[in-house]
């Protein structure tokens, strides 16, 4: 009977209730109709069986390889609802039915009915299900972002601005980030300006940098009256007749004053003012209230007359040249007035630092009292400027990017305190923003000598008094030298240290104190490092023989060498 149940087609599982599969509770009718169904199905071709089960898979339904143990031959397929974990009631019932079937294989129909009833799986109780209002969107719902109103956003923004602004004000007031460093403004009693002091942090680094000074207008108002405009003139008539041989007193004895071509003495004095021609414009400043003016020597160098225009006076003053120095390019003038003149104090150029602000006042191209501002770009600059009298060799100059042009020469270079730290002297014509000034450290050493028209002593210039030249291959061959080295002596000045040490022409200096030098310039530079009075030993070659000469370093400016 069990084998016949397994051969039923799939149509039998879906037979309607009127064919005998009505109520699940009437188990008698189910058993009575099982045999006709089996006979009827035996006449039909075998059809595949499909079992539909919605629930956990029951592995014990086919244990032992007996397909009749399932007991589903006379039953309709049932929908099995998932049970919570731990509910094994249906599984136990089926296991019990399988055991009873194996023991009572040969029993009568009554036992089969009981076995069939016990084998039928107990249907689980169906739980009620109430759909939610949002069931159409699926079991998983995405939480929609909460919208924030504009009022809340604007209120948060204002609160943030208030908090950040309060913190910034408090930090600036208490110097939270600058530690001990701060910019301090110190207004001078004369109103010249302010000083910027930059403190340092605990680790030694610079804490803050001074901003551009905001007292330039006040500084210019205070310093400008002490700055003067200098105009130089030359007597064209005098210069044109300076080469006239007939104006010489010796020839006047023979030809007299009335001879054609000679200049009348009285006429020269009368026409001197009318023949004056302006030759240059420069700048200067009062450093003494009695009328002493400091400027550059090249401003008034070859002039016959010097006029000084002072702010607040209607007429220019005629200045007197007291003292000047061509090497230092400095000059002092003197004018006489009926009252004291405004002055500028001389500061210390050694205390100013590279990067500090500086102010230049002058008369570039005749534009009176022009002020320019810049920073100190460098210190200790040496430059050479050729002119009609030779070449000026400047040393220890200050470099600035404050605009300096022709006409600024002799004007003051001021710090933010209104003190003079240099005299504007030169500008590079091949670049922009490169100007030079003579530092006050150089000026103060010679200022009194210039005021009193005294000779300014020149600094010592170490030398030995010999002209040297590099030894070439031809010279070495002529002198019979094994290799090209040293410096050959071309000339020895009379009464010089080299002359007194018996250094001779065509001697070859190969070293000093046992140390050799690559060329003549290196040898000269080593001599200049010595002090006047020091003694050195020259290592020389004379006619192929090595010799040593002791020479005492002399001063070129005071030596009697010719």
Tell me, yes or no, if the pTM score tops 0.85. Answer: no
Task: Give the Cα separation of 486 and 464 in Å (integer).
Answer: 16
pLDDT at position 388 is 80
329, 377, 403, 507: the catalytic one is 329
Q: Binning pLDDT at 50, 70 and 90, where does residue 3 land?
A: very low
Q: What is the DSSP string of 433-452?
A: S-EEEEEHHHHHHHHHHHHT
Higher pLDDT, 59 or 152: 152
CB 182 within 8 A of CB 199: yes
Q: How many CB atoms lie within 10 A of CB 69?
A: 19
Q: Is 329 a catalytic residue?
A: yes
61, 409, 487, 496: the catalytic one is 409
Q: Binning pLDDT at 50, 70 and 90, where does residue 455 land?
A: confident
Higher pLDDT, 19 or 111: 111
Please return the burial class of 362, using the count of CB atoms within 10 Å of its CB with bins 0-12, 13-18 and 19+: buried
Q: What is the number of residues in the chain?
A: 562
Bridge partners, 420 (sequence order): 346, 414
326-341 mean pLDDT: 92
77-99 mean pLDDT: 45
Task: Give the Cα separation of 334 and 420 in Å (integer).
Answer: 19
Where do the DSSP E strands lie in 251-369?
276-288, 292-295, 305-309, 317-318, 320-325, 330-334, 357-362
pLDDT at position 389 is 78
98, 298, 324, 496: the catalytic one is 298
> Does position 390 have pLDDT exceeding 50, yes or no?
yes
pLDDT at position 450 is 92
The average confidence (pLDDT) of the chain is 74
> Does position 132 have pLDDT exceeding 90, yes or no?
no
pLDDT at position 40 is 43
Task: Give the Cα separation of 293 and 280 in Å (integer).
Answer: 17
Helix axes 89-103, 109-119, angle to 10 degrees: 160
Task: State pLDDT tens for residues 465-484.
Answer: 999 999 999 998 888 888 89
C-alpha 473 chain-centroid distance: 51
Q: What φ, ψ does residue 347 adopt, rounded to 5°?
A: -95, -175
Residue % of the chain over a pLDDT of 70: 60
> Does position 79 have pLDDT exceeding 90, yes or no?
no
At residue 423, the 3 state secondary structure works out as strand
pLDDT at position 346 is 94
Q: Is 409 a catalytic residue?
A: yes
């Amino acid at each position: 009977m069990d084998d016949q149940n397994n051969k039923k087609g799939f149509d039998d599982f879906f037979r309607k209730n009127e064919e005998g599969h009505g109520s699940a509770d009437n188990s008698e009718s189910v058993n009575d109709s099982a045999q006709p169904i089996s006979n009827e199905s035996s006449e039909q071709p075998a059809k595949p069986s499909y079992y539909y089960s919605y629930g956990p898979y029951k592995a014990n339904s086919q244990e032992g390889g007996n397909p009749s143990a399932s007991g589903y031959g006379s039953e309709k397929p049932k929908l099995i609802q998932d049970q919570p974990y731990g509910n094994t009631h249906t599984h136990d019932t089926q296991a019990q039915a399988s055991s009873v079937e194996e023991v009572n294989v040969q029993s009568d129909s009554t036992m089969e009915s009981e076995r069939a009833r016990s084998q039928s799986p107990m249907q689980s109780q169906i739980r009620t299900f109430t759909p939610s209002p949002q069931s159409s969107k699926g079991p998983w719902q995405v939480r929609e972002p909460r919208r924030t109103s504009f009022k809340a956003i604007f209120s948060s923004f204002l609160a943030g601005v208030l908090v950040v602004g309060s913190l910034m004000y408090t930090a600036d007031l208490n110097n939270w980030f600058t530690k001990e460093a701060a910019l301090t403004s110190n207004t001078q009693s004369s109103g010249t300006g302010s000083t910027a002091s930059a403190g340092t942090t605990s680790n030694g680094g610079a804490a803050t940098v001074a901003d551009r000074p905001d007292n330039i207008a006040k500084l210019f108002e205070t310093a400008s009256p002490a700055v003067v405009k200098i105009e130089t003139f030359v007597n064209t008539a005098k210069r044109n007749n300076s080469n006239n041989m007939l104006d010489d007193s010796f020839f006047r004895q023979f030809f007299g004053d009335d001879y054609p071509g000679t200049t009348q003495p009285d006429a020269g004095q009368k026409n001197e003012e009318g023949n004056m021609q302006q030759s240059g414009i420069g700048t200067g400043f009062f450093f003494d209230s009695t009328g002493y003016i400091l400027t550059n020597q090249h401003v008034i160098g070859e002039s016959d007359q010097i006029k000084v225009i002072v702010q607040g006076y209607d007429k220019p003053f005629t200045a007197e040249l007291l003292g000047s120095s061509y090497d230092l390019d400095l000059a002092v003038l003197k004018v006489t007035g009926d009252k004291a003149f405004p002055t500028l104090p001389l500061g210390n150029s050694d205390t100013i630092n590279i990067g500090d602000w500086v102010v230049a006042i002058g008369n570039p191209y005749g534009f009176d009292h022009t002020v320019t501002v810049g920073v100190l770009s460098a210190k200790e600059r040496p430059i050479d400027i050729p002119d009609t009298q030779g070449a000026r060799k400047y040393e220890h100059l200050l470099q600035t990017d404050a605009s300096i042009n022709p006409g600024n020469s002799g004007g003051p270079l001021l710090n933010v305190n209104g003190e003079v730290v240099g005299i504007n002297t030169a500008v590079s014509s091949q670049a922009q923003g490169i100007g030079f000034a003579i530092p006050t450290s150089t000026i103060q050493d010679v200022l009194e000598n210039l005021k009193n028209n005294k000779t300014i002593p020149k600094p010592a210039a170490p030398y030995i008094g010999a002209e040297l030249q590099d030894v070439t291959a031809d010279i070495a061959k002529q002198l019979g030298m094994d290799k090209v080295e040293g410096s050959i002596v071309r000339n020895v000045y009379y009464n010089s240290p080299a002359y007194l040490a018996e250094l001779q022409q065509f001697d070859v200096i190969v070293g000093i104190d046992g140390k050799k030098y690559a060329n003549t310039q290196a040898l000269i530079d080593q001599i200049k490092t010595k002090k006047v009075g020091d003694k050195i030993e020259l290592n020389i070659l004379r006619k192929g023989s090595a010799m040593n000469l002791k020479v005492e370093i002399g001063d070129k400016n005071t030596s009697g060498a010719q």
